[in-house]
Amino acid sequence: MANILAVVEHRQGAVRDITYELLTFGRKLAEKTDGKLTGVLLGHNVDNLTDNLKKHVHRLIVADHDVFKDFNGDVYQQALADIIKKENPFLTLIGNTAFGIDFCPSLATHLGVPFTTDCIDAEIADSGIRVTRQLYDGKMDTHMKLSESPSYMLTMRSGTCPAEEGNLSAEMQKIESPITTQPSYKKFIEYIEAAVGDVDITKADVLVGVGRGIKEQANLSMVEDFAKAIGGVVACSRPIVDANWLPKDRQVGSSGKTVKPKLYIAVGISGAFQHIAGMKNADTIIAINKDSNAPIFNEADYGIVDDLFKVLPALKSKIMELKK
Amino acid sequence: MDLIVCIKRVPQTAEAEVRVDSSGKDIVKDRLTFDMNEADTYALEAAILLKEKFGGTITAISLGVADAEDTLRIALAKGADSAVRIKAEDFGELDGFKTAALLKEVIKDIKFDAIFTGCMATDDSYYQVGPVLAEMLGVPHATLVSKVEVSEEKVRVNRELEGGLIEHLEMSLPAVFAVQTGINEPRYASLIAIRRAAGKEIKILGKEDIPVETKTNSTLEELFVPPVGKRAEILTGSADEVAARTAGIIKEKGLI
Ligand SMILES: Cc1cc2nc3c(=O)[nH]c(=O)nc-3n(C[C@H](O)[C@H](O)[C@H](O)COP(=O)(O)OP(=O)(O)OC[C@H]3O[C@@H](n4cnc5c(N)ncnc54)[C@H](O)[C@@H]3O)c2cc1C
Ligand SMILES: Nc1ncnc2c1ncn2[C@@H]1O[C@H](COP(=O)(O)O)[C@@H](O)[C@H]1O
């Protein structure tokens, strides 16, 4: 019987999608062994969040305290260490998000619990845990077995286990917060919203996403030209923003914008899952990449395996012809 | 300020063909190029900027095989004062946890104000080594760091969250910062500096220098090419033919 604990991720008053993915995944894993899924919600004035959460877990532990008003990884670590010691779960599930990776590795280390991160699947095997992870820019998968232990901890990649409707009605257990003050060495001050720029890529029907394959900043003008010809807007992958070639508000992906255009043309973008997360819901995706093994071709509807410097000008002139 | 930067040498796989080797547990590496892990170039730059402002020293540490020394020399050329290689060949199978444990054994004897790591290594995508190292050393940490601003006894730290939202924290030193890409402009090493670094000594530590039992959390059982789900329809032909097909598809969708 594998009892599973899942940590509820919420921010600025809303439960984040990863939570329902984790709860769906955790419930299925627990039920396979007649175990129970317990959700842990640490927050302040979070009563309005519990109704929906209760549908997804067998039991919901809630610690309500103003120390949880905003996220501080250290506060979570201390509180969860206490709760996990008491609960003794077979497995603790956490999202592989900016939230989860700030406390899972150190928490598991503190507790002496074998753990691993960024899993895309996990199963209970030979009384232990086997996970699937991705390596080498998403070009390889691996199966890994965690060292034998009575307890494990994993972070799961978002988007790998679709959330399902919940039909449970959990009992709720309110507990005293194990921690009441932020530590002096790590204090949350505030959230700073992303700056808004002059172009809103989330509103465009046609986006031309450009990636590191463009090689040099000077080549961006070619992409701008192309975008103009097709009546679209230029967006990009993270390295283009890291290099300061385009502003942050043009970045598509998990740490950038989520877009849903009618057409997304990915130009010289490999298709890291952080990028895919931001554009997979486009109606039509066309990818241009010289590497036939680039992961982007697993997401695109149409693929062109060739040099973008050859394809883009050719495509531009064909589009101009059709427009006449 | 005395600073430590953890640097990993990783294969550059974004544009390369990646194949499983005969052991089934590793990739064929002989035709891949290797370089400093992307996030580590930003971690190193963050340390150099602090050293330029406050003075002090930078120690670059890498757990790797002999080639890692080339990467450490780049760090020396850019501004690190000393470098240490932990001989990966002496320690068998590694994972993020064991890597952190080995780094800790070396770092615990060095005086430091801050340790910089990358937020993630592109070969194993663990996101682990920085925060685990911090926990083992008993110092605080922040991950996905997009800014570290040090003033009198206070450090302003920004973390980058999903959607570009920033979490602003105040921390005290010593601490470990696992930095995100894009947080500064990593410098290039000048030719003169590279030549000078070629002669510098790199401290090499092996099993006899680190006589502790370190364990992995996990064992790699197999590597395999990810199963393809939905695969794109690949348009073939000359650039002109492909362009014509593509333009046709776009038109059919009513987008031109
Ligand atoms: C916490 C975190 C958050 C992240 N958030 C985001 C995010 O929001 N958005 C994002 O995009 N990334 C994000 N990343 C980065 C992500 O992991 C990848 O590193 C990034 O998406 C890679 O960008 P790329 O595809 O442009 O570059 P690469 O992976 O380097 O790919 C370049 C591609 O160009 C192709 N190419 C090269 N030359 C040519 C040519 N002449 N013709 C055709 N093709 C060519 C290559 O084959 C290759 O596939 C994040 C990473 C982390 C750790
Ligand atoms: N073998 C290594 N030697 C030195 N530093 C490492 C090593 N592996 C990981 N790191 C550091 O830890 C960061 C995160 O790596 P990972 O947890 O493996 O994703 C990297 O960006 C490096 O700064």
- The 3 state secondary structure assigned to chain B is CEEEEECCEEECCCCCCCCECCCCCCECCCCCCEEECHHHHHHHHHHHHHHHHHCCEEEEEEEECCCHHHHHHHHHHHCCCEEEEEEHHHCCCCCHHHHHHHHHHHHCCCCCCEEEEECCCCCCCCCCHHHHHHHHHCCCEEEEEEEEEEECCEEEEEEECHHHCEEEEEECCCEEEEECCCCCCCCCCCHHHHHHHHCCCEEEECCCCCCCCCCCCEEEEEEECCCCCCCCEECCCCHHHHHHHHHHHHHHCCCC
Q: What ipTM was assigned to the predicted interfaces of this complex? A: 0.97
Low-confidence ranges of chain B (pLDDT < 70): none
Which ligand lies nearest to the CA atom of residue B75 in the structure? 2
Is residue A11 helix, strand or coil? strand
Q: Which CATH class is domain A4-175?
A: alpha beta
Angle between helix axes B96-107 and A104-111 (nearest 10 degrees) is: 80
Partner residue opposite B18 with nearest CB, options A139, A144, A318 = A139
C-alpha A296 – ligand 1 centre gap (Å): 10
In this predicted structure, what is the pLDDT of residue A74? 98
DSSP string, A205-251: SEEEEE-GGG-SGGGHHHHHHHHHHHT-EEEE-HHHHHTTSS-GGGB
Mind listing the pLDDT tens digit for each residue in A203-235? 999 999 999 999 999 999 999 999 999 999 999
- Is the pLDDT reported for residue A324 higher than 90? no
Contact between A32 and A125 (Cβ < 8 Å)? no
Distance from CA of A216 to the nearest CA of B (A): 15
How is chain A split into domains, by residue range?
4-175, 201-323
Tell whether B25 is covered by a domain: yes
Q: Looking at CA atoms only, how far is residue B199 from chain A in angstroms?
A: 32
| A246 Cα to the center of ligand 1, angstroms | 14
Q: Which of A110, A116, A138 sits opposite B135 (nearest CB)?
A: A110
**What confidence tens digit (pLDDT) does each residue in B148-178 have?**
999 987 899 999 999 999 999 999 999 999 9
Which ligand is in closest contact with the Cα of B72?
2
B231 falls within a domain? no
A320 membership: H or E segment, kind and range: helix A308-323
Judge whether A4-175 and A201-323 match in fold. Answer: yes
Q: How many domains does chain B have?
A: 1
CATH class of A201-323: alpha beta
SS3 A267: strand
Which amino acid belongs to residue A121? D
Q: How far A44 CA sits from the closest chain B CA (Å)?
A: 18
What pLDDT is stored for residue B229 in this prediction? 79
For residue B118, the domain's CATH number is 3.40.50.620
Residue labelled with tokens 């996030």 = B39
Task: Domain of residue B8: give its range.
Answer: 2-205
pLDDT confidence bin for A291, thresholds 50/70/90: very high
Hey, is the C-beta of A292 within 8 angstroms of any chain B C-beta? yes
| Contact list, B102 vs chain A (CB under 8 Å) | none
Query: What pLDDT is attached to residue B4?
Result: 99
